[in-house]
Amino acid sequence: MRRGFKAHAERLSVEMRDRLGIRNETAIDPVALVQSKGCLVWKPQDVPELDVSHITQLTISDPDSWDAVTIKEGDCTVIVINNTRPAARQANTIMHEWAHLELKHKPSRVDEFENGLLLLSDYPKEFEDEADWLSGAMLAPRNGLMTLRKRGLDDDQIAEAFGISSQLATWRLRMTGIDRQFRRGY
């Protein structure tokens, strides 16, 4: 990650939450955030003219093979989310896709179809790491994590408060240094 990126992501999270009137220790609605930025979030069933056999493949036959895809057509950006995944995972996936857009990441590969539809994919590892960090910061900002830990909440309770997975809550608590601070008596 670029030098100073983590601090930048934490500041961006706090600023966006302030603008949206969302406290740092409460859950953010990823769909509402993404839509407020002009992007659409669809389930496979929402994609116009998508053949039912493709919907069946994506949601019934092989739903574990994907999480989301971002599609751009002209000025319109759509995140198609795998709605068979648990809600906490969908939240993280939506925020991860949005983070790539917010950070203006350029994918290593772009597939263009005959109708001009663009499918963005294959970001370099550094961009994936930045998107992971920003999405985590948006979903569970450091100062919000600190507030909830001070209230005595464990990882699972923090995850529930933010509407994220326990794994993401534990990762954020570890990677932001909060657990280390609490072991030292903060």
Q: Write the pLDDT tens digit of every residue in 97-148.
A: 999 999 999 877 666 666 655 555 678 889 999 999 999 999 999 999 999 9
Q: Tell me the pLDDT tens digit for each residue of 33-51.
A: 999 989 999 999 999 988 8
pLDDT of residue 107: 74
How far apart are alpha carbons 175 and 74 in whole angstroms? 38
Domain range for 137:
5-183
pLDDT at 185 over 90: no
- Say what the pLDDT of residue 68 is: 93
Q: Which two tokens stand for residue 42?
A: 């669809």
**What is the per-residue pLDDT across 59-100, written as a single tens digit (0 to 9) for each?**
999 999 899 988 888 889 999 999 999 999 999 999 999 999
Say how far apart CA 126 and CA 107 lie, in whole Å.
11
Q: What is the pLDDT of residue 120?
A: 52
Specify the DSSP class assigned to residue 72. Answer: E
pLDDT at 114 (0 to 100): 63
Give dist(CA 35, CA 77) in Å, integer. 10
Name every residue whose Cβ is closer than 8 Å to that of residue 125 and which is 6 or more positions away in sequence. none
CB atoms within 10 A of CB 85: 17
Flag whether pLDDT at 183 surpasses 90. no
pLDDT for the residue numbered 54: 87
Q: Measuring CA to CA, how many Å separate 178 from each of 7, 45, 184?
A: 14, 41, 10
When pLDDT is averaged across residues 18-47 and rounded to a whole number, the result is 94
Q: Report how many domains make up the chain.
A: 1
